[in-house]
Homo-oligomer: A and B are copies of this chain.
Amino acid sequence: MMSINSDSMLDHAPSSPLRLRPQAALKIDKSERTRVAILNAALDFIWSRPFRDMTVRSLMTATGVGRSAFYQYFTDRHDLMQTMLRIVQKEIFEGVSPWLVGVGDPVVLLHQTLGGLVRICYERGPFIRAISDASRTDKRFEEDWRQFLEGFDEAGFARIEADQRQGLIPDFDARPVVFALNRLNAYTIIEAFGQHPRREPEPVWEALARIWVSTLYGAEWLGKESSSLIRK
C-alpha cells in the first residue's frame, strides 16, 4: 500500500539540509504531518532539481499521498514556494541585520552583513534560485518576490542616507544605487550558489564587499576588517 514511514522515500531523493519537523511537538495531528511532508518533499526536490521540473505529481509521489491531497494544503506550486520564501527570508534577515541596524564602524558592519548574507545564501542557494525562478511563472508570487527585494531597498536606503548625513558616504542619489547594489547581491548569489556545483563562497564574498565598500565608503577602507571570514 504505502511505505511505512511517510517521510523518506527509498529511491534516489537526496534529502536537503533544510527540513522541517512537525510544529507543536506533541499535538501532531495528521494534517500538520502531511503538510510538513509535502514541504519537505519540495525542499528535497529543489535541493537537487530545478523548479521547472517540480510538478505536483512528483511531490506527492515522494510524499506517498495522492496527488489531489496537495490542494488541501496549498492552492498551487507557487503558494508552496511562498512558504519556502518565508522560511529563507527569516534566515536572511537575521544574517543581514548588522549593517542595517547595528552600531559601530559601518565598514566593519557592512563586511559582517555581506559575510552573513553569503554564508546563508551559500547554504540555501538552490532554494533561493527556485524561489526566484518561481517568481517568473506566477503573477502573484512575482509580487511577493518583488516585495522581498524591496525590503532590502528600503532598509539599505535608510542606512545610506543616515551615513550620508554623517558625511561617511558621498552625497549621491541613494535610491538607484541601493537598488542596483541589491540586485547585484541577489543575482550574483543566485547564479553563484543556485545550482550544484556551487562556487566557493569566499571569492564571492570578497567581490561583493569590494564593490559595496568602494562604492559607498571608498576604496581606502578596503583593507580594514578583511579579517572576519565567514564564520560558523
Contacts and interface: CB of A to CB of B under 8 A. Distances in A.
Given A184-B188, A214-B214, A219 B137 contact: no
12 contacts: A52-B136, A52-B138, A173-B206, A175-B203, A179-B207, A180-B184, A180-B188, A180-B211, A187-B187, A214-B218, A215-B215, A218-B219
Contacts of A136: 51-52, 133, 136-137
Interface SS majority for chain A? helix
Contact of A180 (B51, B52, B175, B207): B207
A65 interface: no
Interface of A: 50-52, 133, 136-139, 149, 170, 172-173, 175-177, 179-181, 183-184, 186-188, 191-192, 199, 203-204, 206-208, 210-211, 214-215, 218-219
Number of copies: 2
Given A136-B137, A176-B207, 6 more contacts: A52-B137, A133-B137, A173-B206, A176-B204, A180-B211, A183-B187
Contact of A208 (B149, B180, B186, B187): B180
